[in-house]
C-alpha cells in the first residue's frame, strides 16, 4: 500500500467570492448606496486589521471577468473564526447588493514530501527552516499585489493515479516541481492550502505577484512538470487585484483601484462614505472633485482668516503652495487603547499620497485625547473622519460643537524649552479664561513625540477668536515663540 506523507496544518482559509448586482446598485437610492459603502468599508477594514480574532490576515481584491466581482480572503486560526467573518459580511448593507457565486474553504499545510526532517525530528530543524515553515502555516498577504486563485487535485484516473504511486517516486516528482517554483523566488508568493474533506478539490492555490505575467509564466512552466502534466487536475482560475478597504467606494463607482496608483485620486479614493456621530448616517464626499473651497461660503471665510493670520506673521497653512486640512475627534477612551486602534487605521491611510499625518494627542489638564488626521484635501480629511468616528470613546468632533473652533495651532518645540512652553501656555490660559467668547482651550501632546503639540481652542464666534489673535498678549507669545519653536506654527483648518 502506498505511504501517505505526513502533514502539518496551520491557519484555516476562506476565499469568499462576491458578485455585485449592478442593476440593483444603479437603481438604489443614493442614501442606500452610501450606507452600503460605509458598512462594507468598515467590515473590510476591521477584518483586514484582524479585529475579530487574535491572529490571521484578510484582504479584498477586485476580480476580473464574469465569474465574480470581489474576492475577500481570510486566514484565521479556526473554522469558527471564518464562519463569523462570513456571517458578519451578511449583516452589512453591502451584502444586500451581492450574491456569493462560489467560495472555497481550506487549511494551510506543509507535507513530508519536501521537508521530511521537519516531521522526523522537529528539534533538529534549524531556525531558518522553522521560520520558513511558520510562514507557510501562518502566511501574510502581500500589499498591492495581483492575485490568482485556483483549486486543484491529483488525478485518480485509470491510466494515471497519483495515489497508486510509491512515496519515493511521488517525492521525486514533487522535488522537481519545487525546483521549477524556485526560479520564481522574489517574483511569486504562493499559499497552498489543503481542502481534502473541506471542499470539492484537494488543494486551493493562491499566487501573489506585483506583475500578473509572472503568474501566467509560473503556471505555464509548471504544466510541463510530470506532476502536473500527468497527475494535475484544475478547477476554475480567478484573477484580481488587491485594493485597500477604503477604496470600496471608488471601486463601486467604476474607478481603477487601488486609487493611490492613479493620478487625481481624491476623496472617494478613501472610501467614498462615512458616518457621523451616533446617527448611523452616511455622507459621500469628493465625488465632484471639489476640495471644499467655496468662494461664496466657508472657503472664502477661511481664506480671509488665512490672510489676516498671515499679516500677523502666523503660518496659516499652504505649505509649498498647497492647503492642508485636518479632521479632529476627541475621545475619552484609555489613551493606549486608542493609540493601538489609530495605529491600525494609520497603516491604511498611508497607502494614499494625500495623507500627511495621523496621530494621537493627549490633553495635559483634561482626561481626554484628540485624534488628529491631516490631509492634502478637505474631502480626503472628511472621508477619514468616517473611519475615525468608529474609534473607542469618541465624544465629539472638532467643528461640530457650538461656536467657532479655530482648529488651533501645531507646534514643534525645541526639547530644551518644552517645560517653558507648558508654563507659558498655562499663563496664556489664564488670559484666555478672562476673554469674552472663550469656551475652552487645551494643550495636547503627541503620545509619540513629546515635542509635538497641538492647541485646540473653542470660541463663541470667529470674531471672539480673532480678537485674541489680535491681542498684545498673543503678539508677545508669538514673539517669544520664535526662540523656543523648532519651526513656525502651522494653523490647520477644519475640513
- According to DSSP, the residues that pair with 396 across neighbouring strands are 330
For 346, the enclosing helix (H) or strand (E) is helix 335-349
DSSP code of residue 268: G
- SS3 string, 168-191, reads HHHHHHHHHHHHHHHCCCCCCEEE
> What is the separation of C-alpha 328 from the centre of its chain, rounded to a whole number of angstroms?
19
C-alpha grid cell, residue 482: 520664535
Catalytic residue list: 150
For 23, the enclosing helix (H) or strand (E) is helix 22-27
Cα(489)–Cα(494) distance, integer angstroms: 16
C-alpha grid cell, residue 35: 450606507
For 433, the enclosing helix (H) or strand (E) is helix 418-433
- The neighbour count for residue 427, using CB atoms within 10 Å, is 11
Q: What angle do CA 146, 150, 156 make, to 5 degrees?
A: 155
C-alpha grid cell, residue 440: 475652552
DSSP-derived secondary structure for 275-324: E-TTS--EE---TT---S--TTSHHHHHHHHHHHHHHTT---S-GGG---
Report whether 173 contacts 223 (CB < 8 A): no
Cell numbers 497653512 correspond to what residue?
Answer: 317
Amino acid at each position: 500500500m502506498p505511504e501517505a506523507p505526513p502533514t502539518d496544518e496551520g491557519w484555516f482559509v476562506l476565499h469568499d467570492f462576491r458578485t455585485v448586482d449592478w442593476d440593483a446598485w444603479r437603481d438604489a437610492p443614493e442614501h442606500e448606496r452610501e450606507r452600503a459603502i460605509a458598512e462594507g468599508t468598515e467590515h473590510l477594514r476591521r477584518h483586514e486589521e484582524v479585529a475579530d480574532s487574535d491572529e490571521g490576515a484578510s484582504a479584498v481584491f477586485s476580480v476580473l471577468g464574469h465569474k465574480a466581482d470581489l474576492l475577500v480572503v481570510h486566514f484565521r486560526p479556526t473554522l469558527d473564526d471564518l464562519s463569523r467573518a462570513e456571517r458578519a459580511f451578511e449583516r452589512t448593507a453591502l451584502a444586500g447588493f451581492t450574491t456569493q457565486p462560489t467560495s472555497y474553504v481550506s487549511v494551510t499545510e506543509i507535507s513530508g514530501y519536501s521537508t521530511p526532517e521537519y516531521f522526523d525530528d522537529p528539534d533538529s530543524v534549524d531556525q531558518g527552516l522553522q521560520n520558513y515553515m511558520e510562514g507557510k502555516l501562518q502566511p501574510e498577504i502581500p500589499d498591492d499585489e495581483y492575485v490568482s486563485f485556483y483549486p486543484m487535485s491529483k488525478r485518480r484516473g485509470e491510466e494515471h493515479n497519483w495515489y497508486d504511486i510509491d512515496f519515493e517516486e511521488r517525492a521525486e516528482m514533487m522535488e522537481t516541481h519545487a525546483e521549477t517554483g524556485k526560479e520564481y523566488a522574489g517574483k511569486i508568493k504562493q499559499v497552498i492550502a489543503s481542502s481534502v474533506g473541506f471542499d470539492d478539490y484537494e488543494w486551493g492555490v493562491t499566487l501573489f505577484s506585483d506583475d500578473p505575467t509572472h503568474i501566467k509564466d509560473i503556471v505555464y512552466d509548471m504544466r510541463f512538470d510530470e506532476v502536473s502534466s500527468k497527475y494535475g487536475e484544475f478547477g476554475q482560475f480567478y484573477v484580481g487585484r488587491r485594493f485597500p478597504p477604503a477604496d470600496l467606494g471608488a471601486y463601486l463607482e467604476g474607478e481603477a483601484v487601488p486609487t493611490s496608483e492613479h493620478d487625481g485620486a481624491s476623496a472617494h479614493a478613501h472610501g467614498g462614505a462615512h458616518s457621523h456621530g451616533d446617527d448611523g448616517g452616511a455622507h459621500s464626499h469628493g465625488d465632484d472633485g471639489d476640495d471644499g473651497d467655496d468662494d461664496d461660503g466657508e472657503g472664502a471665510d477661511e481664506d480671509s482668516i488665512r490672510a489676516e493670520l498671515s499679516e500677523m506673521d502666523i503660518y496659516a497653512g499652504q505649505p509649498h503652495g498647497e492647503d492642508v486640512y485636518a479632521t479632529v475627534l476627541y475621545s475619552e477612551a484609555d489613551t493606549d487603547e486608542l493609540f493601538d486602534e489609530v495605529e491600525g487605521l494609520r497603516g491604511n491611510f498611508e497607502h494614499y499620497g494625500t495623507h500627511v499625518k495621523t496621530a494621537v494627542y493627549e490633553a495635559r489638564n483634561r482626561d481626554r485625547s484628540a485624534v488628529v488626521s491631516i490631509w492634502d484635501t478637505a474631502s480626503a480629511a472628511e472621508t477619514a473622519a468616517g473611519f475615525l468616528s468608529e474609534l473607542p470613546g469618541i465624544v465629539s468632533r472638532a467643528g461640530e460643537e457650538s461656536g467657532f473652533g479655530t482648529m488651533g495651532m501645531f507646534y514643534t518645540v525645541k526639547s530644551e524649552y518644552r517645560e517653558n512652553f507648558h508654563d507659558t501656555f498655562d499663563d496664556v490660559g489664564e488670559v484666555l479664561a478672562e476673554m469674552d467668547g472663550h469656551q475652552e482651550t487645551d494643550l495636547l501632546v503627541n503620545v509619540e513625540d513629546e515635542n509635538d503639540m497641538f492647541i485646540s481652542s473653542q470660541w463663541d464666534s470667529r470674531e471672539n477668536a480673532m480678537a485674541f489673535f489680535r491681542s498684545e498678549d498673543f503678539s508677545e507669545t508669538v514673539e517669544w515663540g520664535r526662540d523656543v519653536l523648532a519651526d513656525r506654527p502651522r494653523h490647520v483648518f477644519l475640513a
